[in-house]
Amino acid sequence: MTDLLSSYRFGDLVLPNRVVMAPMTRVRATADGLPTPLMAAYYAQRATAGLIVSEGVQPNRVGQSNPNTPGLHTEEQVAAWRPVTDAVHTSGGRIFAQIMHGGRVSHPDTTGLRPVGPSAVAAVGDVFTPGGPRPAPVPRALETAEVPGQAGSYGEAARRAVEAGFDGVELHGANGYLISQFLSSNANLRTDRYGGSVAGRIRFAVEAAAATVDAVGGDRTGIRLSPGGTFWGVAEDDVPTLYAALLPELARAGVGYVHLEATSDETVLTALRRAWPRTLIVNPTLPMGPKQTGREDADRWLGLGADLVSFGRAFIANPDLVERLRTGLPPAPVDESTYYQGGAAGYLTYPAYQHVA
């Protein structure tokens, strides 16, 4: 069976192991979306991962979901990312930027703009704002002529990511954000070419992926998907049919990897493994669910055909997670109250394993 700690080649990158650090929002950027020295230290601490995928990075101002998240739509943001990517590379790591357009999961108090989405249907739940949680507002439905520009924003952000020193990008097509909203059968009520049929609902994802591949190349492009996920109130009718249509189009566009979340049952996910001809990353446990991914989960999915396995929360409290997986050391507990509070506490203050004599 494939060993989690064996090397893997992805394009020009040789990953020293098959452990991927999954993207996780930590809200340590400045109010204007600039990465900070704290972020450089945080990612460098975790550079032993085969691949790091950064927190979600907004491709434009209207695409920002949460306050104090970083962007890739100004020259100042590009310049501020360079110390982060340099720190990871100096520490021997590899890092992709996750390009995340929040779509309807946003608020004017955060961006100064009314959120946009495929249709004028509000997300379910409260969104984060600088003044605290607020009910998700009804977004403005994008005009047909506007949609290609939002799809193209992923490619524009990808160009800036590579300029900033990232090794590639991952499109956030999961968890109820803009690509996921277009895939959805209840957030996307459109009757133009971007809605209605399965072919219409996958069009935005395919156009965003194609724009990104055109910008930086397929070996620098991945996409994260959550088949059947219900985050922020999205629903997807006939998940096997939807994703059986989407994956071949992503392959045709030249996407290098798909990153699947365990939001459907194993039968669906293994069928998608068979349908996807290139690198597959699997996150074996439900994001923000009751269980963190462990070594047994990873080994199981490598046996089921995954090429790489992503670990999310386990990386927060365990900057030395790869070594703990290698030696069977127990994971450190995480302080959930520090996930989004800002500052170094609960961000840079988790040490490597301390051996007790």
177 counts as catalytic:
yes
User: 274 is written with which tokens?
Assistant: 């068979």
CATH code: domain 8-338 is 3.20.20.70
Domain ranges in the chain are 8-338
Residue 200 CB contacts under 8 Å (≥ 6 apart), including other chains: 190, 192, 193, 194
Between CA 158 and CA 168, with CA 162 as vertex, the angle to 5 degrees is: 70
pLDDT of residue 195: 98
Distance from the Cα of residue 200 to its chain's centroid: 23
CB-based contact 205:214 (threshold 8 Å): no
pLDDT of residue 254: 98
- Among residues 42, 43, 154, 177, the one annotated as catalytic is 177
User: 164 is written with which tokens?
Assistant: 């900033």
pLDDT of residue 357: 47
**Dist CA 202 CA 194 (whole Å):** 8
pTM across the whole model: 0.97
DSSP annotation string for 58-117: BSSSTT--STT--BSSSHHHHHHHHHHHHHHHHTT--EEEEE---TTS--HHHHSS--EE
Max distance between CA atoms of the chain, in angstroms, equals 67
pLDDT of residue 355: 63
**Dist CA 6 CA 4 (whole Å):** 6
pLDDT tens-place values along the chain, 357 residues long: 799 999 999 999 999 999 999 999 999 999 999 999 999 999 999 999 999 999 999 999 999 999 999 999 999 999 999 999 999 999 999 999 999 999 999 999 999 999 999 999 999 999 999 999 999 999 999 999 999 999 999 999 999 999 999 999 999 999 999 999 999 999 999 999 999 999 999 999 999 999 999 999 999 999 999 999 999 999 999 999 999 999 999 999 999 999 999 999 999 999 999 999 999 999 998 776 677 888 999 999 999 999 999 999 999 999 999 999 999 999 999 999 999 999 999 999 999 887 654
Could you give the residue ranges of the DSSP H alpha helices within 175-316?
178-183, 198-201, 203-216, 239-253, 266-275, 295-303
